[in-house]
Amino acid sequence: MKFQRSLVAGGIGLAVVQATSLKDVCTTAHAKKALPASEEFQGLTLHPASITANAVYNASTTDEDNWPDVYGYDYCNVTMAYSHNGIANDKVLLEFWLPAPEKFQNRWLSTGGFGYAINGDEGDLPGGVVYGAVSGQTDGGYGSFSTELDAVFLLANGTINRQALYMQGYQAHYEMSMIGKAFSKNFYDMGSEKLYAYYQGCSEGGREGWSQVQRFPDEWDGAVIGAPAIRMGQQQVNHLYGNLVEHTMGYYPPPCELEMINNLTIKACDALDGKVNGVVGRTDLCKLHFNINSTIGHHYHCAASSTTTVLKRGLDKRTSETSTTPAQNGTVTAEGVAVAAKILDGLHTLDGKRAYIWYQPTATFDDADTEYNSETGKWELDITSLGGEWVARFLELRDADNIDSLDNVTYDTMTEWMIEGWKRYEDVLQTTWPDLTPFQEAGGKIIHYHGESDPSIPTGSSVHYHEMVRKIMYGNLSFEEGTKALNDWNRLYLVPGAAHCAPSDDQPNGPFPRTTLETLIEWVENGDKPDRLNATIMSGAHEGEQQDLCAWPLRPLWKNNGTTLDCVFDKKSYDTWTYDFDAYDVPLY
């Protein structure tokens, strides 16, 4: 079956062969014919009988952070299963959304997960279809597209499901892209035409992206990687640090107090980027110039609320819980500020060595939220399951969603937890291999972004990895030359005011990089290097307006009363983003 586009290219047969429509190709018979042979994939068996196909017409997606509004697109939804030879009862599900033949642009897009999920449960698939790419998601072999790793991670208390662990770590994405690319080529009868391969994901999905770039240099032409949950050994334990500071210092601030401290921080640091817009574009200058003690004595008030909050389990949005909080009315205390300052300083061992970093000032203190006890009338420790589940399930190997207490846990215990997870999962979830030479030599391109006010994965985590890659690959070059060489194919953009993989409610006038896959495609396919990254203001008075993001290590600085954006280098600011992790006796990448 040939399509009009390739017939035109061939220049013959137009009069006799009908152009193929979505209706013609979106059948199980055609999908079965397009399924590659199992022999093409070592160790796998593909199951033609499992194939389903259904056409979807006139779909629309709007208000998405990662691609613009699109109305009225059509696609073919194909699902299939394969299994690993030698594993009993093994079944991995794949789902592909294939654009209508006349809209297909020789592209493949893999999409990743969030929290402990390995996919976005169809939510991310439109992001490729709108750019003429076949989009794919995998279920990792966990039983369904909505089953997440933590649900299948233990075969019994004490026994890791290593197949699931390694599928999540990197194997499932590799297998999906190999199968999906071969399937796409057959489905559209591409012959020897090039299929461009892309990856797009944020958070755990960002980690999954790095897992592929670090291991499989020929798999991708380019990857969009947002706020990656890399350095997982440190990352997940770190969620508990705010709680441990409160527990150690013996002060449990009402959430409104920390919120007020943060609001005052945003207000005080807003102008440091040269534009008074409620957005802190320079948290580095905020670190250098803002004294958090200045918030002491300010009055705060938060109304009583009964909220059904999404329970954040492992960064994931899965279940919800209704909680009632009373009105909070008070003044910011010296104790509250001491707790906030200690949290912002990041985890250090008892003898003062740095073990990890916290979020930037201006990131909300969500991890450190306390809980109201209506019997005692006091605010109490509320251990976040984001960190607690990691310790219970992934370190202690118990089928539990959290730990019960932080009694007897010290800053040294936390450091030991970090080392334990780092060692145990170094080859599978740590995902910080810093030598990307094979990927660079294969011509791959990376656009990496991270919200500057991310309250769930430290912005500095992305900066640190980026700088480690520079040092390992270009350590012989000067800082300027090494940066130039790295930026030639791998760019990092910090997003002013943005939270975790999304714009922030507290800084609503901030931009968000909404057309990044398009920018990556232009870089890969046309050689257009993104010196700055296109972003869009997603809410507020200037909603819809365009705003550029600066490429690291350049930092934004507005001139002419906030009307002209400069991207500048400033050594003092840069130095606030570099860390010496001297709590460890081996390098932390």
Residue 270 binds which one of Ca ion, ligand NAG, none, with CB within 5 to 8 A depending on kind?
Ca ion
Q: Which of 496, 514, 564, 510 is nearest to 540 (CA)?
A: 510
| Cα 157 from Cα 145, distance rounded (Å) | 24
Contact call for residue 301 and ligand NAG (CB under 6 A): yes
Contact call for residue 157 and ligand NAG (CB under 6 A): yes
Contact call for residue 139 and ligand NAG (CB under 6 A): no
Contact call for residue 305 and ligand NAG (CB under 6 A): no
Which residues have C-beta within 8 Å of that of residue 84, sequence separation ≥ 6?
Answer: 43, 44, 90, 92, 141, 163
| Whether the bond into 553 is cis, omega within 30 of 0 | yes
- SS3 at position 285: helix
- Which CB atom, from 427 or from 545, has the smaller least distance to Ca ion? 545
User: Site for ligand NAG (CB under 6 A): which residue of 18, 45, 52, 324?
Assistant: 52
Contact call for residue 560 and ligand NAG (CB under 6 A): no
User: Site for Ca ion (CB under 5 A): which residue of 181, 207, 239, 275?
Assistant: 275
Contact 567/551 with Cβ under 8 angstroms?
A: yes
- The 321-340 site mask, x for binding ligand NAG (CB under 6 A), equals --------x-----------
Contact 279/496 with Cβ under 8 angstroms?
A: yes
Contact call for residue 374 and ligand NAG (CB under 6 A): no
User: Site for ligand NAG (CB under 6 A): which residue of 260, 268, 286, 495?
Assistant: 260
- Which CB atom, from 122 or from 525, has the smaller least distance to ligand NAG? 122
- Which CB atom, from 7 or from 338, has the smaller least distance to ligand NAG? 338
Contact call for residue 282 and Ca ion (CB under 5 A): no
Amino acid at 433: W
- Which CB atom, from 422 or from 558, has the smaller least distance to ligand NAG? 558
- Percentages of the chain per state (helix, strand, coil), in multiples of 5: 35, 25, 40
User: Site for Ca ion (CB under 5 A): which residue of 51, 129, 134, 279?
Assistant: 279
Q: Which residues belong to the active site?
A: 203, 454, 500
Which residues have C-beta within 8 Å of that of residue 138, sequence separation ≥ 6?
Answer: 92, 93, 94, 95, 118, 119, 172, 173, 175, 176
Q: Which of 566, 499, 493, 491 is nearest to 538 (CA)?
A: 499
CA distances from residue 292 to 336, 471, 520 in whole angstroms, order as listed: 11, 33, 39
Q: Are strands 445-451 and 222-226 parallel, antiparallel or unpaired?
A: parallel
The residue range among 176-184, 256-264, 360-368, 373-381 that interacts with ligand NAG, by the rule CB under 6 A, is 256-264
Give the total of residues touching ligand NAG (CB under 6 A). 36
Q: Which two tokens stand for residue 2?
A: 């040939």
Other beta carbons within 10 angstroms of residue 129's beta carbon come to 27
Contact call for residue 399 and ligand NAG (CB under 6 A): yes
Contact call for residue 284 and Ca ion (CB under 5 A): no
Which residues of this chain interact with ligand NAG, rule CB under 6 A? 52, 54, 56, 58, 60, 72, 77, 79, 122, 157, 256, 259-260, 263, 291, 293, 300-302, 329, 398-400, 405, 407-408, 475-476, 506, 515, 518, 534, 536, 546, 561-562
Which residues of this chain interact with Ca ion, rule CB under 5 A? 270, 273, 275, 277, 279
